[in-house]
Structure 1
C-alpha cells in the first residue's frame, strides 16, 4: 500500500520536492521568522528575553556606526559590480575565441583563486598591502619613487586592497558564468554577421551582449548579494572586526559585532532584517528594470 502510494504519479513529484521544502523551511523560513521576532526583543545570552517593541529599529536609525557600515558595504558592492561584470565578460569572450591559445590553461588559472581559502587569501593580501617598505605593493611603488603607503589605515587605500582581493578571488568565477552563456550562442549568428560585414566590435555589441543578458542578470544578482553580505574578507584583511575608524566595517561585520562581540542579539537581529530588506529592494529593483518580471509575448 505504501509502495503504491509513493510510486503514484500524483504523489511522486511531491516526494521528490519534499527534501528541498523541508530544508528551505528549517534552515531559511524558520530562522528568518525567529530573527524577525528577536528584532523586537531585548535578547541577551543567559537572560530572559523580553519584548521592547520597535526600540531596536529606532536606535538603529540613529546609529552612525551602522550607517557607516551600510555606506562601506554599498561602496564595496558598487566597486565590485563595476569590475566583476564587464571584465569577466571580456575575458570570457577572448578565451572563447577559437584563435585563443591555451584556453584551458587560462580557464584554470582564472578559476584557481576561488579555490583558495578566504582566510589564506586575506592574510596574504594583508601582508601584500602592509605599511612596511618590504611589503610587496610598497616595494613596487618604491621602484617608481613613491613613499610607503599605509593602505589599511586609510578609507580609499583600504578599499583598494579590499576590492583587489575580491577581484583576484572572483574574476574567474564570473568569467566561467559568462563562458557558459557564450556556449548557448549559435556560431551561425557570428558567421552571418561576418558575411554582412560586421566588425568584431559590432558582433560583440549587437550579438554577444544582448544574448548574454540572462547570464549578466544572474551574475549581477549574485554580485549584489555577495557585495552586501561581505564580511570574512574584511575581517581577515584588517586582522579582526575593528578596522581603524571602522573603514572596513560592513553590515554583516556590524551584525557580528553586536550579536557575538557585545551579546546584543536582539539588536543584531534588527541589523540582519534591515540587511535583508536592503538586498531584496536592490535586487528586485534591478530585476524589474531588466525586464525579468515581464511576460514574454507569444
Structure 2
C-alpha cells in the first residue's frame, strides 16, 4: 500500500515516467562514453592488461597522416552532402506540396523508397554501376558521348562522385519528408495574403517558406552533419572493404574500425572516437549558435 501511494505521488510520478529513459541513457550512452574516454588514455589490446599512457594516443593522432586523411575525407563528404541534401529536398518538398501537383503520394513513396533499401545492397549495386569496366552502367552511358571508361573508384574526385551519388539516392527522400512536415505547419493564409499583395512565387519562397522552415532546416542540418561525419558502411561497401586506393574513401569511423577491429588497438581506436565526437559537437554547436538556435526569445 505504501509503495503504491509512493508511486502515485504527484512529486514522485514524473520521476517514475522518466526513469526508463534515464536508465537507457546511462547504460547505452553515458557509461560507454565514460569507458571510451578512460580507454583513450590507455594502451589497450584485446586479451591484454590495460596500461595507462596519458595523452600518448592523442599525441600520436595529431601526427598520424592516415588519420588526418580520414578526417579530411569525412569533413569534405559532410560539407558536400549538406550542399546537396539541404536545398534539393527543400525544393522537391515545395514542389510536391503545391496544390496543383498531381501524384503527390506516388512521388513521396518513390523518393522515400531508397531509404528502406539495405545500405549493403545499395553499396554493392553502386559499386557495380561505377565499375571501371566499359560495360558498367555509368561508363556505358558515358560511352554514348564518346567518353572513355572512367575508373571512378580509383580517383579522389571520381570516388567522391560515387559516394555522393549513393548518399543523394538514399537520403534526398528522407530529408524531403522532414521539409514536407515543416511545410504543413505554415498556414495557407500567409500565401494568400502574399498573392493579394502581388508577390511572385520566388518571393513567397524566400520571404515566407524559408524563414518559417528555419527550425526544420536547423534540425535537418544538425542530423546531416552527424551523418556525414559518421559515414562508414557506404564507403566500405563501395570499395568492397575498408582499404580504398590511397585511402581515398577512408573515413573517421573507417579508421576507428581499422584500429580497433582490424589491428586490435582499442585504446587508439577509442581516442579516434572521442576526437570524432568532439569534431561533431564543435561543428554542430557552432552552426546552432550561428543560426540563433541558442538565442533567448525576447
Pairwise TM-score range, normalised by the shorter structure:
over 0.9
Displacement after TM superposition at 1:4 (Å): 1.4
The residue correspondences of 1:226-265 to structure 2 (distance < 5 A) are: 226-265=227-266
Partner secondary structure for residue 203 of structure 1: helix
Displacement after TM superposition at 1:208 (Å): 0.1
CA distance in 2, matches of 1:35, 1:153: 34
Displacement after TM superposition at 1:7 (Å): 1.3
Displacement after TM superposition at 1:249 (Å): 0.0
> Match of 1:272?
273
> Match of 2:72?
71
> Match of 1:3?
4
The residue correspondences of 1:41-190 to structure 2 (distance < 5 A) are: 41-190=42-191
Displacement after TM superposition at 1:206 (Å): 0.2
CA distance in 2, matches of 1:6, 1:119: 47
Partner secondary structure for residue 203 of structure 2: helix
Displacement after TM superposition at 1:188 (Å): 0.2
> Match of 1:296?
297
Displacement after TM superposition at 1:11 (Å): 1.0
Displacement after TM superposition at 1:134 (Å): 0.8
Partner secondary structure for residue 288 of structure 2: helix
Structure 2 runs not aligned, ≥5 long: none
Structure 1 runs not aligned, ≥5 long: none
CA distance in 2, matches of 1:104, 1:282: 35
Residue by residue over 1:50-83, the C-alpha shift from the partner in whole angstroms, topping out at 9 and shown as x without a partner, is: 1011110110010000000000001100000000
Displacement after TM superposition at 1:268 (Å): 0.3
CA distance in 1, matches of 2:180, 2:161: 27
> Match of 2:201?
200
CA distance in 1, matches of 2:58, 2:78: 24
CA root-mean-square deviation: 0.4
CA distance in 2, matches of 1:262, 1:4: 55
Residue by residue over 1:123-174, the C-alpha shift from the partner in whole angstroms, topping out at 9 and shown as x without a partner, is: 0000000000110000000000000000000000000000000000000000
Displacement after TM superposition at 1:267 (Å): 0.3
Moved over 2 A (4+): none
CA distance in 2, matches of 1:167, 1:13: 42
Residue by residue over 1:204-254, the C-alpha shift from the partner in whole angstroms, topping out at 9 and shown as x without a partner, is: 000000000000000000000000000000000000000000000000000
CA distance in 2, matches of 1:127, 1:13: 54
CA distance in 2, matches of 1:113, 1:15: 40
Q: TM-score, normalised by structure 2?
A: 0.99
Aligned positions, number: 297
CA distance in 1, matches of 2:160, 2:20: 41
CA distance in 2, matches of 1:235, 1:110: 24
CA distance in 2, matches of 1:8, 1:198: 56
> Match of 1:216?
217
> Match of 2:30?
29
Residue by residue over 1:107-132, the C-alpha shift from the partner in whole angstroms, topping out at 9 and shown as x without a partner, is: 00000000000000000000000000
CA distance in 2, matches of 1:137, 1:210: 39
CA distance in 2, matches of 1:293, 1:81: 21
Residue by residue over 1:253-282, the C-alpha shift from the partner in whole angstroms, topping out at 9 and shown as x without a partner, is: 000000000000000000000000000000
- Determine if the alignment matches structure 1 residue 18 to structure 2 residue 16: no
